[in-house]
């Protein structure tokens, strides 16, 4: 099993009471799976993603990646885990404005042990003609494709995405989703995504629903579609 989360809890002390942002969450992911997390605002989606990505520390419970526990790692060890294992894509692309497309990707290449070839990746995300442009010269979809390439260049086994198409229109969302599907197929990257976009749900292998910090559903998507065939 690639990822195993067991009885995971993240609580905050608010006055005398504890508030449970993630409450006894248990889930498993196979290598190469695309899993989406759905749930209302404030239900704990980002917290769960951040715990798995080693951006936050759990109150209790266990997260094992390829059998290795990450919940008891020090901050420094968590940094190494993030660097070696995890790529992040957020709703807003967070590119460095005074670096070109190529340079934005290049600066992350050395972070992993087996980085992907930059030019192959630039071709894969369809930005060959844009590689010397600056972020301000790109559309939102193109900027998100740079962000995806930047997250992938170190060849992470796990890609965590928080509303990756949240700032994109229909057409560019579809392009980015086709890219995710292609990357998943080519590199067998395991992907965990938070989204309100129904299309991501339709192209995923598994759907997790969360409410008030608790996982309420965890179902295989037996009617999985390819991104190019999805209308929403």
Ligand X SMILES: Nc1ncnc2c1ncn2[C@@H]1O[C@H](COP(=O)(O)OP(=O)(O)OP(=O)(O)O)[C@@H](O)[C@H]1O
- By CB under 6 A, residue 92 contacts ligand X: no
Q: Which is nearer to ligand X, 42 or 79 (CB)?
A: 42
Contact flag: residue 157 with ligand X (CB under 6 A):
no
C-alpha to C-alpha distance for 177 and 179, rounded to whole angstroms: 5
Residue of the chain from 23, 29, 33, 44 that contacts ligand X (CB under 6 A):
44
61 φ, ψ to 5°? 105, -175
Tokens of 217: 């559903």
- Select from 38-46, 102-110, 111-119, 145-153 the region that touches ligand X (CB under 6 A): 38-46
Which one of 44-52, 68-76, 96-104, 117-125 is the stretch in contact with ligand X (CB under 6 A)?
Answer: 44-52
What length does the chain have? 232
Q: Does 232 bind ligand X (CB under 6 A)?
A: no
User: Considering the complex, what minimum distance in angstroms separates the CB of residue 199 from ligand X?
Assistant: 18
User: What number of chain residues touch ligand X (CB under 6 A)?
Assistant: 11
Sign of the torsion formed by the C-alpha atoms of 95, 99, 102 and 108 = negative
**Tokens at residue 12, please?**
């905050």
For residue 198 the two structure tokens come to 């129904």
Q: In terms of C-beta density within 10 A (0-12 exposed, 13-18 middle, 19 or more buried), how is residue 161 classed?
A: buried
Ranges within 51-90 binding ligand X (CB under 6 A): none
Would you count residue 43 as binding ligand X (CB under 6 A)? Answer: yes
Q: Which two tokens stand for residue 159?
A: 């890609």
Residues that bind ligand X (CB under 6 A): 12, 19, 21, 39, 41-47
């Amino acid at each position: 099993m690639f990822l195993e989360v067991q009885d995971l809890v993240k609580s905050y002390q608010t006055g005398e009471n504890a508030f449970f942002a993630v409450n006894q969450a248990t889930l498993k992911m196979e290598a190469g799976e695309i899993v989406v997390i759905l749930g209302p605002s404030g239900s704990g989606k980002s917290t769960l993603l951040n715990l798995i990505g080693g951006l936050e520390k759990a109150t209790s419970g266990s997260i094992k990646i390829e059998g290795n526990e990450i919940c008891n790692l020090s901050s420094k060890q968590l940094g190494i885990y993030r660097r070696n294992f995890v790529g992040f894509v957020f709703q807003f692309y967070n590119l460095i404005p005074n670096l070109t497309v190529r340079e934005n990707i290049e600066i992350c290449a050395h972070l992993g042990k087996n980085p992907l070839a930059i030019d192959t990746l630039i071709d894969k995300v369809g930005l060959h003609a844009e590689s010397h442009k600056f972020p301000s010269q790109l559309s939102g979809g193109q900027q998100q494709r740079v962000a995806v390439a930047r997250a992938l260049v170190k060849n992470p086994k796990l890609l965590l995405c928080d509303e990756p198409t949240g700032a994109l229109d229909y057409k560019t969302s579809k392009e980015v989703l086709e890219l995710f599907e292609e990357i998943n197929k080519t590199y067998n990257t395991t992907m965990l995504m938070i989204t309100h976009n129904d299309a991501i749900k339709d192209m995923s292998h598994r759907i997790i629903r969360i409410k008030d910090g608790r996982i309420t559903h965890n179902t295989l998507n037996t009617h999985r579609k390819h991104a190019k065939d999805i209308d929403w």
